[in-house]
């Protein structure tokens, strides 16, 4: 069984938000809900400055704190490492949102349409059970695409190929190699969640400038 994970090269990410748009398009998330977000971090003092873009979504942790706190069993981890929400069992208590240290979960408000009294074509394209009001929703690693033999939408759309996806336990896979490289880092490992998303930290040379 594969253990799915993602590696994001921060040297390649240009902050274009293509992943954010592709995720919303693929998953038709309600207004105000973005499973993928890109944060901008500025460091240093002129002229030795650096701007880094950091994409962030669900980390699909090996030890997900959102799962044990769920009173209804709606939050669960599959055998392949993907953490999901069963919307038929979710009671909207938001306990998982509080437990998630990465702020990767989102509550679907009862009135979450774009325009009151009407439905846009974008909303109509959703599956009826995709984002039920009063439940919590989150990144799924595009599990429906994986079932069809396709990578997550954010992987396909990244123009700089900053994102890599695959089996973290398969020695022949690219994500296996990258996740064990010298630049690889899990976000906030001190939290003990063992995220399945790794960042390749930017190259830095003397003086604070990025390496060639």
- Which residue ranges make up each domain of the chain? 4-200
CA distance 22 to 20: 6
pTM of this prediction? Answer: 0.89
Q: Mapped to the 3 state alphabet, what secondary structure does 3-25 carry? A: CEEEEEECCCCCCCCHHHHHHHH
Task: Quick: pLDDT tens for 44-96.
Answer: 899 888 899 999 999 999 999 999 999 999 999 999 999 999 999 999 999 99
For residue 65, give every residue at least 6 positions away whose Cβ sits within 8 Å of its Cβ, in sequence order, or none: 99, 100, 101, 191, 193
128-147 pLDDT per residue, tens: 567 888 999 999 999 999 99
> Which one of 3.40.50.2300, 3.40.50.300, 3.30.70.20, 3.50.50.60 gives the CATH number of domain 4-200?
3.30.70.20
């Amino acid at each position: 069984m594969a253990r799915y994970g993602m590696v994001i090269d921060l040297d390649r990410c240009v902050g274009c938000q293509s992943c954010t748009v592709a995720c919303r398009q693929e998953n038709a998330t309600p207004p105000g809900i973005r499973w993928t977000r890109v944060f901008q971090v500025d460091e240093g003092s002129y002229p030795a400055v650096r701007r880094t873009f950091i994409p962030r979504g669900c980390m699909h942790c090996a030890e997900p704190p959102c799962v044990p706190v769920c009173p209804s069993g709606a939050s669960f981890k599959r055998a392949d490492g993907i953490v999901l929400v069963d919307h038929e069992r979710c009671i909207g208590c938001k306990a998982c949102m509080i437990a998630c240290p990465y702020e990767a979960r989102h509550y679907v408000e009862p009135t979450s349409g774009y325009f009151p009294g009407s439905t846009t074509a974008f909303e109509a394209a959703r599956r009826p059970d995709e984002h039920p009001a009063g439940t919590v929703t989150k990144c799924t690693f595009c599990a429906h695409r994986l079932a069809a033999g396709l990578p997550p939408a954010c992987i396909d759309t990244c123009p700089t190929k900053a994102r890599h996806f695959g089996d973290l336990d398969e020695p022949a896979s690219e994500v296996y190699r990258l996740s064990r490289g010298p630049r690889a880092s899990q976000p906030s490992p001190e939290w003990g969640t063992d995220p399945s998303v790794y960042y390749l930290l930017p190259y830095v040379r003397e003086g604070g400038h990025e390496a060639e």
